[in-house]
Amino acid sequence: MSRQRRTVRIVEKRTIPRAAYVSLAAAAASAALLFALWRALKSDDLEIPLARSIEDVQLEWRCEDGHIFTAPGAATPIPCPTCGKDAYPIAQFQCPVHGQFDVFFRFEKGPDGRLVPTEVKAVGGKWEPFTEHPRCPKCHRPMIRESVDPLATKQDPGSG
């Protein structure tokens, strides 16, 4: 019994100010956002350190007419080499009902000069603020990344 009381006392001593948790959560959230982008655009290359710029990575691009080409990350849009129309990096996402859609990503230079994702749009849909789960253009359900990446397979599929 006396042992139990002692344990409680030790736990109480180790309280951390609430503000510390909050700023930690904010930092973790922004890192998670960036990592989600890496996973979305480059699921087969998870070794890229977060410090590297997306300008160092070859991405798949698609123009408004559907031409696909490969180019490094850049502020969007860039002209399609085939037809000259606006092109954006794309990744494939899956609606549980309507199947696969290409999703465009819009990048802009942030205040520190780094490219940051600002908006996403499924082909046939509307631009929306950047999210890991862009909405299906037909039913507006959040979509998931089409290909299974190694990180995802480590986790339990679980029950939704």
Which residue number, 27 or 83, has a Cβ lying nearer to Zn ion? 83
DSSP for 44-55, please give it.
T-TT--TTS-GG
* SS3 state at 85: coil
Q: In whole angstroms, how close is the CB of 91 to Zn ion at the nearest point?
A: 17
Tell me if 118 sits within 8 A of 106, measured CB to CB: yes
Cβ-based nearer residue to Zn ion, 35 or 69: 69
Q: Assess contact for 128 and 140: CB atoms under 8 A.
A: no
Q: What's the min distance (Å) between Cβ of 151 and Zn ion?
A: 25
Q: How far is the CB of 117 from Zn ion (least distance, A)?
A: 22
Q: Which amino acid is at 83?
A: C
SS3 143: coil
Query: Contact positions toward Zn ion, by CB under 5 A?
Result: 63, 65, 67, 80, 82-83, 85, 95, 97-98, 136, 138-139
Our CB check for Zn ion shows the closer of 22 and 139 to be 139
